[in-house]
Amino acid sequence: MESETLATSDTDEQTISATNGVTSSELVTSEPQDDRALMEQFLEDPANNYYNLQYGDTLDGIIMHIDRDEILVDIGSKSEGVIPAKEMSSLLPEEREQLHMGDEILVFVVQSEDKEGRAILSLDKARQEKSWRRLQQQFEAGEVLQAKVINYNKGGLLVNLDGVRGFVPASQVSGISRGPDAQKQSDMARLVGSSLSLKTIEINRNRNRLILSERQAVQEVREARKDEIIENLKEGDVRTGTVTSITDFGAFVDIGGADGLVHLSELSWSRVKHPAELLKVGDTTKVFVLNIDNDRKRIALSIKRTQEEPWSTISGRYQLGQLVDATITQLASFGAFARLEDGVEGLIHVSEMGDGRIQHPRELVAEGDTVPVRIIRIDPQRKRIGLSMRRVEGDDGNYPVDDEDYDYETGAIISAPVMNTAPTATSDAPEESTAEVANGAPEASAVEAPSTAPEESIVEAPSVAPEASVDGETATPDASNGVSNDES
């Protein structure tokens, strides 16, 4: 027993001396700890920090090499990434020439690893992602953008915003008419290649949806400038503007950032039924500033006041007794209104239409007829001309001279014995027989054009003017030229 004990103790002493006092169990335990420490040290070293790439990652990389067909980029992975030519098609030639080795660029991971172990990257998609982020920020801030029109389809324009394609509906573009489809397509084709101010009205990154509006952007810019324009604008100024839209009651004209209304009655000295007869969207025209409403930020304009008023030179073109051709424009129970020229209309009273008894002018004439007439009254100050059909063949020269010799309400000559053959106006028409005509408010004897003063260009509505009735028929005056402050 003693010999065995001695042998065991000798063996243990040898084992302890061989391991410098460390037992075998302690030695086995220390080895994994050392490996773990080395691994932690390896992972903590930035040089060995490799990222596990996934599709859709956007990374900053350093250009390592530039070739005609590809660009090598260091993205901190175990190998360089490559940008093939098809993934950098959005680069313009001058932009590609500005790329150099060592430049930092943003890339998008298309494939984490190809057969050669390289990551496939995209510069186009990276620019799109960056643009989407910026567009989202601009949308939230309500900023106005600038974009180039690259194409169009049936519904509107396609624009490019740093790699992101946006859509501008045709209804949101002021330069596209609202007429037939053929006209819309022509307008959109004309805008390709131009730059537009736009405002984002809808953005959805997940659906790749970006909707913009040119109208809202233009309106916002105009509102910002409108105060300044109104402050510097004065009544009586003459400006050059562009027709932006047309309505039934007039046309809106842009005079440098602010829209003003040219009412129907201020388009021309002649009768106008609709603004489209004279203007179309996009036309350039001179306008006269009639009125400025600073509180409501509204501007009333006139086109006809930039032109010579026909009545200002009427005496040089027409004389008493002169025979002229006139076009019937409107019938009333007491007579017919006839146009001599644009802006000049006269009245043929029913008593001057024929020698016999005439119940209504429609027995002899209709609107649009051209008839020969003789001028029997000229009043340039009140803008009235009296005409006669029955005096065309024979003329007695008995024309009214003074106001008291001529009844403006009935058209009859008061102290003229030669008039006895014609029925008196009071037998067929009541005394209150005043009719309104476009561009003026003439009484029954003649036509009165508007005065040159802006505040006198307003014509009374038919409900205010007395009606003229004969045999139960009511003549409705033309009040299409009535302007209200609300409309202007």
**Domain containing 246 — which CATH number?**
2.40.50.140
Q: Do residues 364 and 413 share a domain?
A: yes
Q: Which of 481, 480, 476 is nearest to 333 (CA)?
A: 476
Q: Do residues 278 and 352 share a domain?
A: no
For residue 63, give the H/E element and its range: strand 58-66
Q: Do residues 324 and 469 share a domain?
A: yes
Q: Which residues pair with 347 in a beta bridge?
A: 337, 386
Name every residue whose Cβ is closer than 8 Å to that of residue 367 and which is 6 or more positions away in sequence. 328, 329, 330, 331
Residues 447, 337 contacting (CB under 8 angstroms): yes
Name every residue whose Cβ is closer than 8 Å to that of residue 357 and which is 6 or more positions away in sequence. 423
The pLDDT assigned to 393 comes to 83
- Mean pLDDT, the chain, rounded, equals 75
In a domain, 277, yes or no: yes
Read off φ and ψ for residue 241, nearest 5 degrees.
-135, 175
pLDDT band at 483 (very low <50, low <70, confident <90, very high): very low
Q: Do residues 155 and 198 share a domain?
A: yes
Residues 246-300 have pLDDT tens digits of 999 999 998 887 889 999 989 888 778 899 988 989 899 999 999 988 888 889 9
Looking at the structure of the chain, the number of domains it has is 4
Residues 48-64 have pLDDT tens digits of 555 678 787 888 899 99
Between the CA atoms of 346, 351, 354 and 356, what dihedral angle is there, to the nearest 10 degrees? 170
**Tokens of residue 432, six digits:** 């209150």
Residues 127-186 have pLDDT tens digits of 888 889 899 999 999 899 999 999 999 899 999 888 788 999 999 998 888 778 888 888
Amino acid identity, position 213: S
Q: Do residues 327 and 403 share a domain?
A: yes
Q: Do residues 335 and 298 share a domain?
A: no
Q: What CA–CA distance (Å, rounded) separates 336 from 354?
A: 12
**Tokens of residue 299, six digits:** 């501007």
In a domain, 49, yes or no: no
Q: Do residues 354 and 421 share a domain?
A: yes
Residues 326-380 have pLDDT tens digits of 999 889 888 999 988 888 888 999 888 888 888 899 989 999 899 999 998 888 8
Q: Is the pLDDT of residue 487 over 90?
A: no
Total-model pTM: 0.40
Its domain, for residue 203, covers 142-217
The pLDDT assigned to 482 comes to 38
For residue 291, give the H/E element and its range: strand 284-293
Residue after which a domain boundary falls, among 306, 341, 371: 306
The residue ranking higher by pLDDT, 144 or 433, is 144
In a domain, 347, yes or no: yes
The pLDDT of 467-481, averaged and rounded, is 37
Going through 113-194 in order, the beta strands assigned E by DSSP cover 119-122, 144-152, 156-161, 164-169
Q: Which of 265, 236, 252, 247 is nearest to 459 (CA)?
A: 265
Q: Is the pLDDT of residue 202 over 90?
A: yes
The CA-based angle 181-184-186, given to 5 degrees, is 110
Q: Do residues 406 and 329 share a domain?
A: yes
Residue owning tokens 């900053």: 60
Residue after which a domain boundary falls, among 102, 126, 150: 126
Q: Is 54 exposed, middle or buried (0-12, 13-18, 19+ CB in 10 A)?
A: exposed
In a domain, 5, yes or no: no
Residue owning tokens 């984490």: 112
Q: Do residues 336 and 469 share a domain?
A: yes
In a domain, 27, yes or no: no
Residues 62-96 have pLDDT tens digits of 999 998 888 999 888 777 889 998 888 878 788 88
Is the four-CA dihedral 189, 195, 198, 202 of positive or negative sign? positive
Q: Do residues 343 and 387 share a domain?
A: yes
- Residues written for the chain: 488
Residues 63, 83 contacting (CB under 8 angstroms): no
The residue ranking higher by pLDDT, 43 or 184, is 184
The pLDDT assigned to 58 comes to 83
Q: Do residues 328 and 391 share a domain?
A: yes
DSSP symbols for 322-372: -EEEEEEEEEETTEEEEEEETTEEEEEEGGGS-SS--S-GGGT--TT-EEE
Eight-state DSSP code of residue 476:
-
Backbone torsion region of residue 49, taken as left when φ is above 0, otherwise alpha when ψ lies between -120 and 50, otherwise beta: beta
Residue after which a domain boundary falls, among 217, 247, 275: 217
The pLDDT assigned to 46 comes to 55
Q: Do residues 297 and 436 share a domain?
A: no
Q: Is 220 exposed, middle or buried (0-12, 13-18, 19+ CB in 10 A)?
A: middle
